[in-house]
Amino acid sequence: MKMNQPDDLSLATAASTFAALGSEQRLAVLRVLVRAGPGGLRIGELGARTGVTGSTLTHHMKILAAAGLVRQEKQGRSIICAAVAYAEIRALTDFLLAECCADAPDGEQDHG
């Protein structure tokens, strides 16, 4: 997901990114990587923590990387996987909540 500022998030970009997250396994992988922080995890550890391994994990990482949400980097004999799009993930949340309760009667607004 390539964006300059959260305000730049279009419906098409949001839909594309949500599509990349449209798998329980991919969402689990991203959540584990976000929890691990910028240093990421070795791919074996990522697989162990998510229960997604081998070619299935490789497939999901490719989709998440194509969406710009994660990166993979070879360090020696290890492959390190990390979430990289913290601002974009927040922009997705902001996109969903930008007009929260805008059409609800005043007494029914809940922003929180």
Dist. CA 3–CA 8, nearest whole Å: 6
Q: What's the topology of domain 6-96?
A: Arc Repressor Mutant, subunit A (1.10.10)
CB 46 within 8 A of CB 33: yes
Spans of all domains in the chain: 6-96
Please report which confidence band the pLDDT of residue 5 belongs to, taking 50, 70 and 90 as the band edges.
very low
Q: Tell me which of 23 and 95 has the higher pLDDT.
A: 23
pLDDT above 50: residue 73: yes
Tell me, what's the pLDDT at 83?
92
Residues contacting residue 89 through CB under 8 Å, at least 6 positions apart: 34, 69, 83
